[in-house]
A = this chain, B = another copy of it.
Amino acid sequence: MAAEAKTEIISVGNELLIGKVLNTNAQFLAKRSTTLGNTPARITVVADNVNEISNAIKEALRRKPRFIIITGGLGPTSDDKTLQGIAKALKRKLAVNTKALNMVKKKYEAYARTENVKTIELTPPRIKMATIPEKTKPIENPVGTAPALRATINETTIFALPGVPTEMEAIFEDTVAPLLGRASKGAAFSEKSIYVNGIMESTLAPLIDIVTQKNPEIYIKSHPKGEENRPNIEIHFSITTTNNDKSKERLQAAIDQLSQLITANNGEVFCP
């Protein structure tokens, strides 16, 4: 889990806290950040509440991550409160941003054309999406309407992305991913799993310890799929390193070592 550049994810949305929606956005960001050498150190889910959002951001900033990626709460309705939360956390005023307003304006001009109406008025809920904390930068949303946001505080870069998955993913790939890649200086994440039958997880434990001691850079984690007495265990090997080729060899060496120990203890190993 030694990430070169520490990242935190903050998911905003009551729908996550009431269990209505599964947090697939956090999984997407976790997976992509990890692939880019920036395994997240923490994921925090908070409500659509200015104080909750602000507190989560302030707490994350105190841990001095290189990146904070926030999702959700950028839309036109009153329950979208992320911009207010960021403003409060950073002690910056909210103000209509000209660039952001142009982004929003262009969207509604395009919608007017497709709807065959002369104009769609820039009402307060539409202007709200362009009302961002001072000294932050709007990011064009290639899919939806609400601009995303980028802010810098000391060594931390904050990104606020929309909660709609297609919008969030597009902006992540366009704007966030290149920065994460550069920050980790090309560090990459390699992983491989083996599957084991016929050996209890508690019997496996000291064998994993032996291999971990020999290969301290490799994280080995067992995921029991069956029960202790009907074992069916996935063992996941992972490493974050700047030398991708060599890391695969190192993973394989650890896998071979553990496989031998498991076989010697009457377990069966399956490699996909």
A residues neighboring B (CB under 8 Å):
1, 14-24, 26-34, 39-49, 52, 56, 59, 75-79, 107, 110-111, 114-115, 123-126, 128-129, 143-145, 164, 189, 191, 200-206, 208-209, 212, 219-224, 227-229, 236, 238
Contact = CB atoms under 8 A, between A and B. Distances in A.
A143 B226 CA distance: 10
Given A15-B236, A77-B205, A123-B206, 15 more contacts: A1-B47, A18-B30, A19-B32, A19-B34, A20-B191, A23-B43, A41-B47, A42-B56, A44-B45, A78-B208, A79-B220, A79-B221, A111-B200, A144-B224, A145-B202
Contact of A227 (B76, B78, B144): B144
Given A28-B19, A42-B45, A126 B202 contact: yes
A16 B31 contact: no
Contact of A41 (B17, B24, B209): B17
Contacts of A125: 202-203, 205-206
Please give the count of copies of this chain that the complex contains.
Answer: 2
A44 B47 contact: no
Contact of A222 (B21, B39, B41, B77): B77
Q: Which 5 pairs, one residue from A and one from B, show the smallest C-beta to C-beta distance? A: A19-B31, A19-B30, A125-B205, A111-B229, A43-B45
Contacts of A46: 41-42
